[in-house]
Structure 1
Amino acid sequence: MLAERDARAAAEVERSWHGACELLSHLAAGRQLPPLTVWGLVLHPGEQAYLSFAAGYSRYYSGDGTYTHVDGLFLGSLPFMAAGYAFTAMGNNARRSAAAAEAAYRWREHQRTQVVLTSERVVCNANGRWLSFYFSGVTAFYPEPMNWSVVFEFGDAVPLRLVGESGAAIATYAAWALHGRDGLHEHPALEPLRAAVRNAARR
C-alpha cells in the first residue's frame, strides 16, 4: 500500500514537471493559451483566465508580539507566597518568550488554496475568500521550480508564497506574465525547465 502510494505521488510529480515544461515551451514559442472558463470568481472586463491549480499558500509577516503580564497577590505563609510569586514569574517569562517568538517574521496562514492565473493577476481562494495579487503590483519575483515554489513581493502587501506540485507551472506562467518571452528564455531560475525541454527535443 505504501509503495503504491509513493509510486502514485512520484508519477504525479513527473506529470507536473512535464506540464511545466510544456507550458514553458508553448509560451516561449509565442503561442497563446486558450481562455479558461471560471465560475464564482468574477473577472474584470477584458480579463481572461488561463490556468487553475491547487497549491500551498502562505504569507510572510510578523505577529504583534503582545502578551498579558500577570501580577499575583498571595496571602499566607512565607513559603506559600514565595512559591506563588515564583510560579507567576515563570508564567510571565513563558508568555514573554512566546510573544517574542510570535513577533518574528515567518511564513504564516499555511493552507491549501485554489489558484487562478489570469491576464492581470494571481487569484487565490484563501481563508474563504478570493484574494487578488496583480502582476502590476509585483516588486520582486522569486521562482524556484526545482523547489516547486514561487514567491512574490508587493509594494502594498506582505509577500505571497505558492508551493506544491503546481509550483513550477505557476512560476513559469508568472515569469511570462511579468517578463514576457524574454523571461522564459533568460530567467536563471527557469534553466532546469529549459534544460528539460532541450533534452526532450533531442530524443
Structure 2
Amino acid sequence: MSADQLGSGMVAEQLGGRPYRKRSHLRWIVPLVSAPVAFVGFGWSQYLVWLSAAEGDLQSLLLQLALLAAAFLVPVAAVIVAIVQAVIVHGRARRAKGRFTATERATIEAREASDRGRGAAVDLRALLLARQLPAEIRVWDVVPGPGEFFFLDTRADYFRYYGRDVSYTRTSGFYVGRPAFVAAGLFANAVSNTVNASVAHAQAQAQWRDRQQVRLLVSNQRLVCQVSGGRWLSFHYSAMTAVHPEVDSWTLVTQFDSAEPLMLRGVDVPAAAVLTVRMTHGEDALGRHPGLMSLEGKD
C-alpha cells in the first residue's frame, strides 16, 4: 500500500500524532473567537470598576490595571494558541488527504521498511523452525565457496570495535618578564597539555568505528560485506566466538578470535541475525535464544 492510500488514522499513528476529524477545527476556532470576547469582557469590566471607584482608592486602581492588562494579554495568548492549533489541524487535514511533506513521506517509508524487515525476520524464523530453507539468490559479485548458497542481499550500517594509538604534542614555552606573565604562560601550557592529553585518550579508547553503509550478503557459511573502496570482507560463522542478535534495535554484533568485533544495523539485519543464529547455534537456538524471543508470535 502506498503512502497516499494510507488512512488518516494509520498515517497519524506512524507520524506520532492524532487522526484528523472535522471537529478538530474547534481546537483553533474556540481560542480565536474567545480573543475578542476576552478583550471586550475585560475592557468592559475595567470600565465598570473605574466608574464605581472612589478617588484615591488604591485597591480599585490595582484592579483596573490588572483588568486592563488581561484585556490585552489574554486575547494575544488566545490568538497564539489559535494559530498553533490551526497549523496542527491543517497538517492533519493535509495528511488525511494523502498529501505529505518530504520529511513525513520519509518517516512513513522508513516505518514501512522497518515493518517489512521485522516481518521478514519473523517469517524466516518460522521457515527455519519448520526445517525449510529460504529461497536461494544468485550473486555474481562474490565467488561462492564449495557448497555455499546465498539467501540475503541487502544494505546495512557497518561498524568495527577497536582502539588505536594516538599521539599528541606537548606544548612548552620559555617566558621572561614579570612573575605574573611567566605564571600565566606556564598555566596556559599546562591547560593546553591537559586538554590535548584528554582528547588523545578519548580517541584511543576502544569504541565503534569505521561506520559506513555497506552491501551485506548472507549465506549458509558467512556474512560478506562490501566496504568502502569496493573491498569484500568475509565473516565466517565458523570463526565467530560470540553472536549477539538484538532484533528490537535492528542490530547484530559478532565477535571473533583474530578480528575486531563487527556490528551491523539496518531494517534487514534481524533476518541476517536469524540466519546467523541458525548457522552458529543450530536449529534449537531459533526457539530459545533470548535475542530472538521478541519475534515469537509477531506478525
The alignment's TM-score, normalised by the length of structure 1, stands at: 0.87
Please give the alpha-carbon distance, in whole angstroms, between the structure 2 residues aligned to 1:111 and 1:169.
20
* Residue aligning to 2:177: 77
Secondary structure at 1:67 match in 2: coil
Greater Cα shift, 152-161 or 186-195? 186-195
Once the two structures are TM-superposed, the CA of residue 108 in structure 1 deviates from its matched residue by 1.1
* Residue aligning to 1:107: 208
* Residue aligning to 1:33: 134
Two-structure CA RMSD over aligned residues (Å): 1.8
Once the two structures are TM-superposed, the CA of residue 83 in structure 1 deviates from its matched residue by 4.2
Kindly indicate whether the alpha-carbon contact (under 8 Å) linking 1:137 and 1:155 is maintained by their aligned counterparts in 2: yes
Secondary structure at 1:133 match in 2: strand
The letter for the 1-side match of 2:117 is: S
Kindly indicate whether the alpha-carbon contact (under 8 Å) linking 1:48 and 1:119 is maintained by their aligned counterparts in 2: yes
Q: Of the candidates 248, 254, 263, which is equivalent to residue 146 of structure 1?
A: 248
The letter for the 2-side match of 1:186 is: R
Please give the alpha-carbon distance, in whole angstroms, between the structure 2 residues aligned to 1:113 and 1:66.
30
1:132 corresponds to 2:265: no
* Residue aligning to 2:294: 192
* Residue aligning to 2:266: 164
Kindly indicate whether the alpha-carbon contact (under 8 Å) linking 1:65 and 1:101 is maintained by their aligned counterparts in 2: no
Provide, for residues 22-76 of structure 1, a one-character-per-residue CA deviation record: whole Å limited to 9, x for no partner.
Answer: 11111111112332222322222332222112111111122224322233345x5
Once the two structures are TM-superposed, the CA of residue 82 in structure 1 deviates from its matched residue by 4.4
Say which structure is richer in helix: 2
The letter for the 2-side match of 1:7 is: I
Identity %: 34
What runs of 5+ residues in structure 2 fail to find an aligned partner?
1-100
* Residue aligning to 1:87: 188
Kindly indicate whether the alpha-carbon contact (under 8 Å) linking 1:121 and 1:134 is maintained by their aligned counterparts in 2: yes
Once the two structures are TM-superposed, the CA of residue 88 in structure 1 deviates from its matched residue by 2.7
Provide, for residues 106-138 of structure 1, a one-character-per-residue CA deviation record: whole Å limited to 9, x for no partner.
Answer: 211111111111121111112321111110011
Please give the alpha-carbon distance, in whole angstroms, between the structure 2 residues aligned to 1:5 and 1:120.
35
Kindly indicate whether the alpha-carbon contact (under 8 Å) linking 1:144 and 1:150 is maintained by their aligned counterparts in 2: yes
* Residue aligning to 1:6: 107
Q: Of the candidates 252, 272, 275, which is equivalent to residue 173 of structure 1?
A: 275
Kindly indicate whether the alpha-carbon contact (under 8 Å) linking 1:61 and 1:105 is maintained by their aligned counterparts in 2: yes
Provide, for residues 116-173 of structure 1, a one-character-per-residue CA deviation record: whole Å limited to 9, x for no partner.
Answer: 1112111111232111111001111111111111110111111111112112111111
The letter for the 2-side match of 1:150 is: L
With CA pairs under 8 Å and 6+ residues apart, which has the higher RCO, 1 or 2? 1
Kindly indicate whether the alpha-carbon contact (under 8 Å) linking 2:124 and 2:134 is maintained by their aligned counterparts in 1: no
Please give the alpha-carbon distance, in whole angstroms, between the structure 1 residues aligned to 2:127 and 2:174.
72
* Residue aligning to 2:163: 62
Secondary structure at 2:297 match in 1: helix
Q: Tell me which structure has the larger Cα radius of gyration.
A: 2
Please give the alpha-carbon distance, in whole angstroms, between the structure 1 residues aligned to 2:141 and 2:169.
42
What runs of 5+ residues in structure 1 fail to find an aligned partner?
none
Structure-2 change in CA distance of 1:72 and 1:38 (3 Å)? farther
Say which structure is richer in strand: 1
Secondary structure at 1:195 match in 2: coil
The letter for the 2-side match of 1:19 is: A
Name the count of aligned residue pairs. 196
